[in-house]
Amino acid sequence: MSTLDQLPVGSNATVASLTLTGNKRRRLLDLGFAPGSAVRALQESPWGDPVAYAVHGAVIALRREDAKRITLV
């Protein structure tokens, strides 16, 4: 299994699970990173962090630290 931070720009995947707890987990679920959701890596900042992802019709920028906690199918 891979994690969201390993998804190459331009690639699609499906969220399998989140290994976060508490408020961060709730926030990512509210943003659309729920299990079964399709996600696409859109763009990486010039310094490599954060990365922009498309999920449920929105563009969300996540730090790699948080993206490492999202497991993909």
- Two structure tokens written together for 34: 């729920």
Could you read off the pLDDT tens digit of each residue along the chain, which spans 73 residues? 699 999 999 999 999 999 988 999 999 999 999 999 999 999 999 988 899 999 999 999 999 999 999 999 8
52 CB-near residues (< 8 Å, 6+ apart): 41, 42, 43, 44, 59, 60, 61
Q: Report whether the peptide linkage leading into residue 8 is cis, meaning its omega lies within 30 degrees of zero.
A: no
In this structure, are residues 45 and 51 in contact, taking their beta carbons and an 8 Å threshold?
yes
Instruction: Report the pLDDT value the prediction gives residue 1, as an integer from 0 to 100.
Output: 66
